[in-house]
Amino acid sequence: MMARPWSGRPALMIPAAFLGGSAAVVAAPQPAVAEEADVRFDIPAGDLAAALEAYGRQAGRQILFPYDAAAGRQSTRVHGAMLRRLALERLLRGSGLEIVRFDARLITLRRSPAKSARRRPARREQQLPAPLPPAPPPQDIIVTGRLGPALLTGTEASYAVSEIGQTALIGRAALSTADVFKEVPGFWVEATGGEASNNVRVRGIPTDGYSSVALLEDGLPVQYDGGLAYLNTDQSYRVDASVMRAEAIRGGPSAVFLANAPGGGLNFITRDPVADPGHELRVTASDRGLLRVDGLLAQSLNPDLGVLLAGFWRRDPGLRDPGFTADEGGQFRARAVYDDGGTRLSLDLRHLDDSVILYLPVPLALRADGSIAAIPGFDPLYDTLAGPDTRELVLQTARGPYAVDLSEGTHSRVTSLTFLGRHKLGEDAAVELQARWHKDHTLRNALFPVGSPMTAEEFVARNRASLLAAFPGSSSVAFRYAADGSPFGGGAAGNGLVMSANLLSVDLPLEEAIVDARMTAPFALGGQHGLALGGTWARTSFGFDREMGTLLLDVRGQARRLDLAAMDDRGAVTGSLTNRGFLRYGSLFDSARITAGNLALYAADEWRFAPRWRMDIGARLEQTSIRGHAAGKTLYDLGDPYTLADDAVSGSDGSRLPIRHRYSGFNWSVGLNFEAADNTGLFVRYSCSRRLPSASAFNDPARTDHGVVPITLLDAGLTMRRRHWRISAVAFYTHFDHLPFTDYRFDTASNAYVERTSIADTSTAGIEFSGSWRPSGPFSIEATATLQDPRYRNFSFTELVGEKPVTHDASGNQLVRVPRAALRLRPELDLFNGTLQLGVEFVRYSQRFADIANSQRLPAYSLVNASVAWKPNASFSLTVDAANLANSLGVTEGNPRAGSFHNSIGQGEYFFARPEFGRTVRVTMTVR
C-alpha cells in the first residue's frame, strides 16, 4: 500500500485489522461545551479527506480515518448548527466509511464492512489527482502489549512502542527478519548470520537468539519459547507481502502478555482482505544474484467475507560466496476473514519450505594498534569458509555413516494453522479465542570455525610427536589436500595458515499447539476501566539430534580440507592424524526427546481515573512442566588402524536419562501515563518478572545450573508529536539476578567442548531516543539513538594458568557484544510531489567486547546506506537500496567457541569474528 505524501497535517497509521490501511488524524483543542450543544459547521462539498479534516477542526475533536479510503471521494456540503455526530453522519453518507468510536476525546472511522463504497462522480477537473505532500511520522493506534477494549494512541501508552511501516518491511524482508529490529531503538541486532538464526538483544539483556524477545504474528507467538536451542524463532518465519506493518514493544507489559519475553516483542500484523482488498506483485533482485518474487491477492467476496493469498519464492547465491546456492525456497499463505462488525473470525494457513545458509565467523588479523585487517587470500566482506570441498561430506558415527550437506543450510519446513476469533458483547466488551498449531522440521547444517588460525608450522609442532608415536616407523609428517592428495605448500592463498572447524548437523522436529482465551470488558469505578482476563495454554514437543565432526582446513574463501600424514624414510604414508580432512569424528553427539507444557493465567486493567491520567496494571502467573529423556553417551573406537580421527567417537551408550522439571513464576507490571498536553505523553513503568528455564536447556540432563531468573525493569518516557516533528525519549533500567552464564569453549587440543558455568547478575541503565523532523519542504530527517551502560555484577570465574587456578573478577565489565552507543541518522529528500525520494542512512556503533573478561575488543564501526524510490503513481514503484556503501569492515561478534569468559587472543594474532556484509545493491519493483 502506498504511503500518502505529507500534507503538513497530523497523520497516523491504523492497524490493517481495524481500519485496513493508512489513516489521517486531525487534532483539535478539547471542547468546553457538552456534546448535546449544537455546533455551527460550514464544510463545503469537495474531497472527503479534506472535508473530514475540516470537520475535526470545527467540531473540536481528534478524528482518525483511513486516508486512502477518503482521498479522491466527493463529499456533500454540511452547513448549519447541529450536533457533532449528526454532522459527521451527513458527511459520511455514501462514503463507505463508518463510525467506530465517538466520544469527547476521540472519533475513529473505518471502512464499512456492511456495504461497498462507491465514489461519487466528480467533475473532470476534480478527477485529476492533486499533488499530495508527504505524510508526517506515524502515530499509531496500539494493539501490541495490551488487551484493553478502548483504542489507545501512541502518546497514551505507558510503555515504549515503535511502529514499522510496510515500506521499511519491504526493504528489510530481503535481508532477514532480525534486520527489521534495526528500525527500533534499544535493540542490538546481530543480523550477520544471514536470513535466519540471528541474535537479538534489547536494553542490555544478556541472552542470545530470541530467548528474551518474542516474535508474534497477529498477537500470537510464532513459537512459544524463542529460546529453544538451535530453533531460533526467525528460522520459522519470513516477512512477505501479506504483512502490513509491525509493532515493537520494549520492556513494559511484555512480561505480562508474552511468554519468556521480558525484553519485548515484535508483532507482525497481517493484511485484512475485508477492509483492505487489493493485489500486489513485487520483484527484488540484487547485484549478488538474488531473485525474489512476492505476490499477494486480497479479495473481498462480500461486505463481510474476504480471502487472501500471498507468498514468495527466492533464490540467492549468497551475500558471501560459498560456491553453491546459499538460499532457496519460499512461503505460501492463505487467509479467510469474516467480519460483520460484531463477530470477527479468521483462519490462516502458512507453509514455509526454505533453506538459508548460516554465515559464521571468518578469519581476521588483529594489528598491533588494535585495528582489524583482512588475511591475504580471504575477503572478510564477501568470502565464507564453506565451499564445494566441504559441501557434501560423510561423518563416521557410532550409528554408521551420516551424510551432511552444507547446501541444506538451515532448512525449515513449517506448516502453521492459526484461528483468531472475537465476538462483541455489547458496545466495548468482547470475548476472544486465538489458537495456533504448527509443525516444524528443521535441519541445521553449518561449518563452525574453532580456535584460531595458525601457521602450518605451528600446527605441525603441536601434533608431530603424538602422530609419530602413534605410527611406529614414521620419521616425518606432511600436509596434503584431502580431496586429491596434492601437497599443501602454503595453500592457494599463499598465507600458509591452517585452521579447525566443526561440521555440525542438528535435526530438530517440533510440534506445538498454543491456545489463548480472554475476555475484555469496560466498567466504571472511580473512573473508566478496561479489564482483561485470560489464559494461555501451550504444549511443545521437540526432538534434538546432533552429530558433529572436526575438520582441518586451509585458510581461504571456500576452504579446502587438509590431511596431516605420517611417513617413513622412503616417503610412504604410515598413518594419518586425520581422515579425509576430519581431525575427529564424533566430536559431539546428543539425542533427546522433550515435551514442555505451559499454563499461564493473566489479568490486566487499563484505568483512566482522571481526564489526562491513565494507569495500567497487569499480572501473569505461569507454570512450565518439562518431561522427556536424553541418550546416555560414551566413546567408541571405530577401529581404523591408519588414522587417529576415529579413536574417540562420541555416541549413545543405549541408556535413557530421564528429564523431569517443573518451574513457576509470577510476573507483574504497573504503568502510569499522563497526557501533559494534546499529543504529549509522559509515562513511568515498573515491571518485575521471572524468566523460566527453556526446555532445551535440558538437552543435557546433567545440567543443574538452570533455574528461575528474577528480572526487574524500570521505564520512564516522554512522547511528543507535533505538526512537523515528533520525539520519543525513554530512560530504562534492567537488572537480572542469578543468571547462569556458560563458557562453552572448544578445546582444539582434544577436539572437544569444555564447559563451565558461573552464576552472576547484570544491570543496564540507558536511554532510547527516536525522533523526526518533517518541515513543509522536501527535506526530512529521522534519528534513533541508544545510549546505555551494560555491566556484569557479582561475576567471578576461575581458570587454570600454568596449571594453577586463578580467579578473575569480571564485576563491572561491559556485557559481551553489546555496544554502549548505537546511533542511526536518516536524512531524506522528497521531490517532484512525492514522485522521487532520496535517502541516506548513517549508522554508528561503539566498541564492544567478545568475552566477559573484556580482553578481546571489537572496534567501533560505521555504516553508510542509501536508497532511491521512484513512485510515479499509486500502482507502481521502483526502489534501489544500497547497504554498506563504503565496504566498512565492522565486526558484530567474536567467536564464542574460542571462549566467552576469557578469550586469550593477543595483539598481532589471528582470530575469528563475524563482520557486516560487503556492499550490496538491491532493486525492488512493486506493482499494485
- Evaluate whether residue 285 is within a structural domain: no
Same domain? For 120 and 204 the reply is no
pLDDT at 147: 63
Most confident of 142-151, 387-396, 524-533: 387-396
pLDDT at 138: 40
Same domain? For 102 and 173 the reply is no
Domain finish residue from 246, 271, 296: 271
Q: Which of 81-95, 387-401, 724-738, 850-864 has the lowest mean pLDDT?
A: 81-95
- Evaluate whether residue 295 is within a structural domain: no
Domain finish residue from 248, 271, 294: 271
Mean pLDDT to the nearest integer, 622-636: 95
Mean pLDDT to the nearest integer, 361-365: 92
- Evaluate whether residue 144 is within a structural domain: no
C-alpha cell at 584: 575427529
Question: Greater confidence, 815 or 251?
Answer: 815
Question: Greater confidence, 17 or 609?
Answer: 609
Q: Is 164 helix (H, G, I), strand (E, B) or coil?
A: strand
322-339: pLDDT as tens digits: 999 999 999 999 999 998
What's the CATH code of the domain at 119?
A: 3.55.50.30
Same domain? For 488 and 567 the reply is yes
Mean pLDDT of the chain: 85
Confidence of residue 113 (pLDDT cuts 50, 70, 90): low
- Evaluate whether residue 292 is within a structural domain: no
561-570: pLDDT as tens digits: 999 999 999 8
Confidence of residue 13 (pLDDT cuts 50, 70, 90): very low
Any idea of the CA torsion for 846, 848, 854, 857, to the nearest 10 degrees?
Answer: -90
Same domain? For 915 and 788 the reply is yes
Question: Greater confidence, 805 or 597?
Answer: 597
Mean pLDDT to the nearest integer, 257-268: 82
- Evaluate whether residue 289 is within a structural domain: no
Mean pLDDT to the nearest integer, 781-793: 93
Question: Greater confidence, 158 or 436?
Answer: 436
What's the CATH code of the domain at 397?
A: 2.40.170.20
Confidence of residue 558 (pLDDT cuts 50, 70, 90): very high
- Evaluate whether residue 92 is within a structural domain: yes
Q: Which of 234-238, 612-616, 700-704 has the lowest mean pLDDT?
A: 700-704
Same domain? For 574 and 431 the reply is yes
Residues 6+ apart with CB under 8 A from 80: 40, 41
Confidence of residue 154 (pLDDT cuts 50, 70, 90): low
pLDDT over 90 percentage in the chain: 50
CB 355 within 8 A of CB 408: yes
Q: Which of 219-233, 512-526, 751-765, 840-854 has the lowest mean pLDDT?
A: 751-765
- Evaluate whether residue 358 is within a structural domain: yes
Domain residue limits at 521: 313-927
Same domain? For 834 and 780 the reply is yes
Most confident of 79-88, 165-174, 753-762, 841-850: 841-850
Long-range CB contacts (< 8 A, 24+ apart) of 842-846? Answer: 845/819, 845/821, 845/890, 846/819, 846/820, 846/821, 846/822
What's the CATH code of the domain at 232?
A: 2.170.130.10
Domain finish residue from 127, 142, 168: 127
Same domain? For 117 and 164 the reply is no
Same domain? For 25 and 85 the reply is yes
* Kind plus residue range of the DSSP H or E element containing 459: helix 456-470
490-517: pLDDT as tens digits: 766 778 899 999 999 999 999 999 999 9
Confidence of residue 124 (pLDDT cuts 50, 70, 90): very low
Same domain? For 44 and 185 the reply is no
CB 201 within 8 A of CB 786: no
Q: Which of 129-138, 474-483, 866-875 has the lowest mean pLDDT?
A: 129-138
Same domain? For 258 and 363 the reply is no
Nearest-5° Cα angle at 621, 620 to 625: 135
Mean pLDDT to the nearest integer, 820-837: 92
Q: Is 370 exposed, middle or buried (0-12, 13-18, 19+ CB in 10 A)?
A: exposed
pLDDT at 21: 39
654-697: pLDDT as tens digits: 999 999 999 999 999 999 999 888 888 899 999 998 888 889 88
Confidence of residue 754 (pLDDT cuts 50, 70, 90): confident
pLDDT at 98 over 70: yes
pLDDT at 926: 93
Same domain? For 166 and 118 the reply is no
Same domain? For 748 and 839 the reply is yes
- Evaluate whether residue 280 is within a structural domain: no
CB 199 within 8 A of CB 893: yes
Number of domains in the chain: 3
pLDDT at 358 over 50: yes
Mean pLDDT to the nearest integer, 131-146: 48
Q: Which of 161-175, 296-310, 488-502, 551-565 has the lowest mean pLDDT?
A: 161-175
Q: How far apart are CA 238 and CA 242, in angstroms?
A: 11
